[in-house]
C-alpha cells in the first residue's frame, strides 16, 4: 500500500526546513505520498535545495499556526486554519492515512479528539512510545495524555498497547508490566494498587505484575503501563540521563591527546551508542485510541527523527491501528452500556 | 567529632562480608567508630582477612534478621532482636550517632518511626538522595517513603531538602523545583497542581517552579521535590538507563580488536563515567524527618557503596540534620496547633 502521510510542516523547534527535509526523506524510504501542510511560501522555500526525486509531494495550504505556548484546547477551536487542524482534517476527509506533528503536543491531542474523535469504547486515548532497552524495545504508555487516569483507563492502555505490539511489532501475546515502586503486588501508589487486581483478573492480557523504573530500560516486558504523569517523567528522565552520559564521556575524552586519538577508533561505537539512546531519534509516539493514525514527535526533532516518525505513521496506517483497537475494545465491550470485564479464567 | 556509626551487618544482597568490608573502610576514612550489628559469628567471619588497623570496631549482637521480603510493619514489631531494630536502638540509647542499613528498606523506615519517632512538626518523613548531574548534584526527594503524599507533606519535603542542602552541601538558599510533566505552572497531575501554589506562596523557599524529568539529570535546580512513587520511578529509570548505556558501550567495544586496544587507552575515562553514573555507588539515602541519622543503602550495595554511605551517615550526624529539620519546622510551626504557613511576602 502507498500510504499518504500529512506532515505539519510548521511544527517543531527548528522550523519548516528540518521538518520538510525529514518528511521528504521518510516519504522516499516508505514510498509514501507526502502532504506538507502549512504556509505554502515557507514550505516552498524549505523544499528548495532538497532532492525530491522519487517522492510524491503535495503542499496543502494552512494559513495559521498554533504556537508551542498556545493553550491547546483554545487554540484548536480558534484556529481551524492552523497546520495541525488542517492536517488532521486530511485524515477525516479521507485524503491522508496518517498525520505527523512536532508542534504543540497538547494541541495535537486536543485537535485529534475534536477532528477525529475517540475510538468507540475507548474512554481516554493515550500516547505510546518505544523505549530502547538491552534486549530490544519496550512500549511505554501513557506519556502524558492522561495525567490522572481512572483505573479503567489504565486497563485500556494495556489493551491498546497489546494491539500496537501485536500488529506493528508482530509479537504475539506481549508481556505487560505495571510501573510501580517495587515488584511486589502490594507495592504502588493508590492508583497502581487499584489497577493491579484489574489487570491480574484479565485472562486476555499477558500481565506479569509490577515492574520498576529500571525495567523501562532493561526490556523485562514488552509493554509498561503507567499514568501519563509518571510515564512523562520516566521518559524525560531517561532522555536526561542518556544526554548526561554522552556529555560526561565527551568531556573525559577531550581530557588528553591519546584519549582523543583512541576515541577516533571508537567513533563508530560511540555513534552507535548515541543512536541507540537518543530518545529524540525514536521519531514519533502514536496517539492510541483516536480514529486515525496520529503521530506526535518531539518538539526538538531532527530531520532524521521526522524521517523515523514517517515510518511510525506509515505502519500505524498500514496495520490499521485504530481499527485494531476498535475491534479489541468491542471484544471487551459487547454492548454500548459500559465496560464489561470478561470473567477471569483463573 | 568522632562519630559512632551503627551498621546493619546483615543487610544487603551480598551478605555480611561486603557490608563489613565497606563499613571498616568507611570508618577508617571518616575516623568513625564502627558498630557492626548482627550475628557475632558471621560478623567475626567477615572481619577475618580485613585490615582493621586504625579503625575502632565493636560488634553488637543481634540474634535475629529481617528478610528482604518480610512485611516491614509486622517484622519491626515481631523482631525486636533483628539487626535493623538493634542498630536503630543504639541511636535511641545514645550509643551511636548514625545508622546504616542495606536491608529491607521498608523495615528500616518503619523501624525508624517506631524506635526514633518523627521530628516534632514533621507529618511524614521522606527519603532523599543525591543524583549525579551535568553540573554537580541534585537532591531528589521523596524516593518512596510516601507514595501518596498530601500537598502539605510535599511542602515539608521542600523544607527538609533545603535543610539538607544548606547544612551538608553548604549551599545557601538552594533552588527548589517541583517535578512535573511540563514546566508551565498549569502542568502536572492533580497533586502537583495543588502543591505548586503552596510552594510559590512561600517566601522562605527558593521555589523556581516546575521542572521535568530531564532536569533530574541536568542539575537545573539544587532540589527536586516529588511524591515517593514518582521519585522512586525516576531514580530507578535513571539507574536502568545508565546501566543500559554501559552495557551497550561494552558490547560495541568488544566488537573488534582495534576497538579493544583503543578502549584500553580510554579505560580511565570509562571508569570515571561509570563512577559518575553508578547510582548504587552514591551510597546511601538519608531518611529525613526522623529523630536520628538513618541512612538507607541500596540492597545491592557494593563495599564501596557502603563506604560512601558511612560518609553520608557521618555528615548527617556531624551537621545534626535532625536538629536542623526540627528547628526549620518550628519556624513554620510556632505552636503545636498545626501547620501555619507564614504570609507570603508577595
Whole-number Cα distances in Å, A335 to A330, B29, B37, B46: 8, 70, 63, 66
Vertex A56, ends A54 and A60: CA angle to 5°?
150
Residue A207: strand pairing partners: A176
Domain extent, residue B42, equals 1-122+289-319
Say if residue A235 is in the same domain as residue A258: yes
Query: What are the cell numbers at A228?
Result: 501519563
Residue of B nearest to A135 (CA): B244
Domain count for chain B: 1
The model's confidence at residue B335, banded by pLDDT at 50, 70 and 90, is very low
Counting beta carbons within 10 angstroms of the beta carbon of residue A202, is it exposed (0 to 12), middle (13 to 18) or buried (19 or more)? buried
Write the DSSP assignment of A200-255 as a string of letters. Answer: HT-TTSEEEEEE-HHHHHHTSSSEEE--HHHHHHHHHHHHHHHHHHHHHHHHHHTT
- Inside any domain, residue A344: no
SS3 state at B99: strand
ipTM of the modeled complex: 0.89
Are residues A79 and A157 part of one domain?
no
- CB within 8 A of B323, min separation 6: which ones? none
Question: A322 and A199 in one domain?
Answer: no
What is the model's pLDDT at position A119? 96
Cα–Cα distances in Å, from A103 out to A78, A260, B95?
A: 16, 38, 61
More confident residue, B282 or A230: A230
Which of A236, A245, A269 is closest, CB to CB, to B253? A269
Task: Find which of B69, B131, B240, B299 to mutate to test the A interface (most A CBs within 10 Å of its CB).
Answer: B240
> Does pLDDT of A340 surpass 80?
no
CB contact under 8 A, A259 and B244: no
Q: Are residues A190 and A297 in the same domain?
A: no
Rounded to a whole number of angstroms, the distance from the CA of A267 to the nearest CA of chain B is 9
Give the whole-number percent of chain A exceeding pLDDT 70. Answer: 94
Q: Which residue has the cell 491547546?
A: A72
Residues of A within 8 A of B179 (CB-CB) are 233
Residue whose C-alpha cell reads 531518611 in the numeric block = B287
**For a pLDDT cut of 90, what percent of chain B falls above it?**
70
DSSP secondary structure string, A146-175?
-SS--HHHHHHHHHHHHHHHHHHS--SS-E
Contacts of A57 (CB under 8 A, 6+ apart): A24, A27, A33, A34, A36, A47
Same domain, A190 and A89: no
Final residue of a structural domain among A257, A280, A303: A280
> Which regions of B165-288 does DSSP assign to beta strands (E)?
175-179, 206-211, 223-225, 284-288
Question: Could you give the CA distance from residue A335 to residue A309 in angstroms, rounded to a whole number?
Answer: 36
Q: Which of A116, A8, A111 is nearest to A62 (CA)?
A: A8
- For chain A, give the mean pLDDT: 90
Q: Which of A122-136, A193-207, A233-247 has the highest mean pLDDT?
A: A193-207
Q: Could you tell me the strand order of the sheet in which A126-132 lies?
A: A57-61, A33-38, A4-8, A98-101, A293-297, A284-288, A126-132, A137-141, A223-225, A175-179, A206-211
In a domain, B213, yes or no: no
- Same domain assignment for residues A218 and A301: no
Q: What is the residue whose three cell numbers read 492502555?
A: A157
Indicate if the pLDDT at residue B336 is higher than 60.
no
**Shortest alpha-carbon distance between residue A251 and chain B (Å):** 9
Q: What is the mean pLDDT of residues B261-273?
A: 77
Question: What span, in angstroms and rounded, lies between the C-alpha atoms of B157 and B329?
Answer: 11
Model confidence at A277: pLDDT above 80: no
Please tell me the distance in Å from A94's CA to the nearest CA on chain B: 34
Over residues A317-322, the mean pLDDT reads 92
Checking if the pLDDT of B337 tops 70, the result is no
CB of B90 within 8 A of CB of B6? yes
b or e along B38-77 (b: 16 or more beta carbons within 10 Å of the residue's beta carbon)?
bbeebbeebbeeeeeeebebebbebebbbeeebbbeebbe
Lowest mean pLDDT among B184-188, B235-239, B263-267: B263-267
Q: Is residue B144 part of a domain?
A: no
A38-73 burial, b for 16+ CB within 10 Å, e for fewer? Answer: bbeebbeebbeeeeeeebebebbebebbbeeebbbe
pLDDT (mean) for A80-86: 97
Contact B83, B62 (CB under 8 A): yes
Query: Which pLDDT belongs to residue A69?
Result: 87
CATH value at residue A247 = 3.40.718.10
- Which residue in B has a C-alpha nearest to residue A248's C-alpha? B273
Would you state the pLDDT for residue A333? 58
- Per-residue pLDDT, averaged over B191-205, amounts to 97
B70 or A343: which carries more pLDDT confidence?
B70
Average of per-residue pLDDT across A61-80: 94
Contacts of B190 in chain A (CB under 8 A): 147-148
Whether residue A270 is predicted with pLDDT greater than 80 in this model: the reply is: no
3-state SS assignment for residue B142: coil
Label the pairing between strands B223-225 and B175-179: parallel
pLDDT of residue B346: 37
Per-residue pLDDT band for A282 (boundaries 50, 70, 90) equals low
Residues A272 and A190 in one domain: yes
Selection from B232, B233, B242 nearest residue B281 by Cα: B242
For range B210-233, the mean pLDDT: 95
Sign of CA dihedral B285, B291, B293, B299: negative
* B77-115 residue pLDDT tens: 999 999 999 999 999 999 999 999 999 999 999 999 999
Cis peptide before B142 (omega within 30 of 0): yes
What is the pTM (predicted TM-score) of this model? Answer: 0.90
Domain assignment present for residue B187? The answer is no
Over range B242-253, report the average pLDDT.
82
Which three three-digit cell numbers place residue B104?
529491607
Q: Which among B133, B236, B265 has CB closest to A244?
A: B133
Contact A237 B234 (CB under 8 A): yes
Question: Does residue B90 belong to any structural domain of this protein?
Answer: yes
For residues A14 and A48, membership in a common domain is answered with yes
pLDDT of residue B338: 45
Please indicate, yes or no, if residue B45 is contained in any of the structural domains.
yes
**What's the gap between Cα B88 and its chain centre?**
16
**Which has the closest alpha carbon to A305: A287, A278, A286?**
A278
Q: Choose the closest CB to B240 out of A189, A213, A226.
A: A213
pLDDT at B2: 83
B96's CB contacts (< 8 A; 6+ apart) are B4, B5, B6, B35, B87, B90
Contact B262 A262 (CB under 8 A): yes
pLDDT over 80 (residue B270): no
A262 with B263: Cβ contact below 8 A: yes
Task: Say if residues A115 and A96 touch (Cβ distance below 8 Å).
Answer: no
Same domain for A136 and A3: no
Q: Which residue of B has its CA nearest to A263?
A: B262
Partners of B258 on chain A (C-beta within 8 Å) are 265
By the 8 A CB rule, do A134 and A217 touch? yes
What CA–CA distance (Å, rounded) separates B159 from B122?
10
Quote the crossing angle between the two packed helices A257-265 and B257-265, to the nearest 10°: 160
Residue A150 and residue A34 in one domain = no
3-state secondary structure of A319: coil
Same domain, A104 and A147: no
Q: Tell me if residue A61 falls in helix, strand or coil.
A: strand
Q: Give the minimum alpha-carbon distance from A256 to chain B in angstroms, rounded to a whole number.
A: 10
**What value does the mean pLDDT of chain B take?**
90
Q: Is B223 exposed, middle or buried (0-12, 13-18, 19+ CB in 10 A)?
A: buried
Burial of residue B264, with CB atoms counted within 10 A of its CB: 0-12 exposed, 13-18 middle, 19 or more buried = exposed
- Sort residue A173 into left (φ over 0), alpha (ψ -120 to 50) or beta: left
Cβ–Cβ under 8 Å, residues A11 and A83: yes
List the grid coordinates of B228.
515517593
Q: Does A326 lie in the same domain as A221? A: no
Residue pLDDT, tens place only, A21-33: 999 999 999 999 9
Residue A118 domain-assigned? yes
User: Which of chain A's residues have a Cβ under 8 Å away from the Cβ of B148?
Assistant: 189-190
Task: Compute the distance between CA of residue A264 and CA of residue B253 in angstroms, rounded to an integer.
Answer: 13
The per-residue pLDDT for range A88-143, each reduced to its tens digit, is 999 999 999 999 999 999 999 999 999 999 999 999 999 999 888 877 789 999 99
Using the beta-carbon criterion (under 8 Å), do B269 and A277 form an inter-chain contact? no
pLDDT of residue B277: 67
Half-sphere exposure of B288 (CA within 13 A, CB side): 34
Q: What is the pLDDT of residues B15-74, one digit of tens each?
A: 899 999 999 999 999 999 999 999 999 999 999 989 999 999 999 999 999 998 899 999
Within a domain: A269: yes
pLDDT band with cut points at 50, 70 and 90 for residue A279:
low
What pLDDT, in 10s, does the model give residues B127-174? Answer: 999 888 877 789 999 999 999 999 999 999 999 999 999 998 889 999
Amino acid at each position: 500500500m502507498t500510504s499518504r502521510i500529512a506532515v505539519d510542516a510548521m511544527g517543531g523547534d527548528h522550523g519548516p526546513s528540518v521538518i520538510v527535509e525529514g518528511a521528504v526523506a521518510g516519504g522516499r524510504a516508505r514510498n509514501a505520498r507526502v502532504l506538507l501542510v502549512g504556509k505554502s511560501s515557507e514550505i516552498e522555500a524549505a523544499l528548495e535545495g532538497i532532492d525530491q526525486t522519487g517522492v510524491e509531494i503535495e503542499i496543502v495550504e494552512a494559513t495559521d499556526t498554533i504556537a508551542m505556548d498556545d493553550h491547546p484546547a483554545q487554540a484548536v477551536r480558534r484556529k481551524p486554519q492552523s497546520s495541525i487542524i488542517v492536517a488532521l482534517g486530511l485524515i477525516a476527509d479521507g485524503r491522508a492515512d496518517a498525520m505527523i506533528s512536532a508542534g504543540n503536543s497538547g494541541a495535537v491531542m486536543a485537535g485529534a479528539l475534536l477532528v477525529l474523535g475517540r475510538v468507540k469504547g475507548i474512554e481516554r486515548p493515550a500516547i505510546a512510545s518505544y523505549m530502547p532497552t538491552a534486549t530490544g524495545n519496550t512500549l511505554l504508555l501513557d506519556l502524558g495524555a492522561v495525567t490522572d487516569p481512572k483505573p479503567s483507563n489504565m486497563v485500556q492502555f494495556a489493551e491498546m498497547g497489546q494491539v500496537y505490539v501485536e500488529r506493528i511489532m508482530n509479537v504475539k501475546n506481549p508481556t505487560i508490566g505495571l510501573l510501580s515502586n517495587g515488584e511486589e503486588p502490594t507495592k504502588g501508589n493508590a492508583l497502581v494498587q487499584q489497577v493491579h487486581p484489574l489487570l491480574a483478573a484479565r485472562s486476555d492480557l499477558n500481565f506479569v505484575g509490577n515492574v520498576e523504573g529500571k525495567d523501562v530500560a532493561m526490556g523485562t516486558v514488552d509493554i509498561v503501563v503507567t499514568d501519563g504523569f509518571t510515564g512523562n517523567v520516566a521518559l524525560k528522565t531517561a532522555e536526561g540521563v542518556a544526554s548526561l552520559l554522552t556529555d560526561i564521556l565527551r568531556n573525559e575524552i577531550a581530557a588528553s591527546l591519546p584519549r582523543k586519538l583512541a576515541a577516533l577508533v571508537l567513533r563508530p561505537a560511540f555513534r552507535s551508542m548515541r543512536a541507540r539512546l537518543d530518545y529524540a531519534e525514536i521519531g514519533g509516539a502514536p496517539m492510541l485510541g483516536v480514529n486515525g493514525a496520529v503521530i506526535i514527535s518531539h518538539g526538538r526533532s531532527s530531520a532524521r527523527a521526522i524521517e523515523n516518525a514517517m515510518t511510525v505513521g506509515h505502519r500505524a496506517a498500514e496495520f490499521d491501528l485504530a481499527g485494531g483497537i476498535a475491534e479489541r475494545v468491542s471484544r471487551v465491550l459487547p454492548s454500548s452500556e459500559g465496560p464489561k470485564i470478561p470473567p477471569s479464567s483463573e
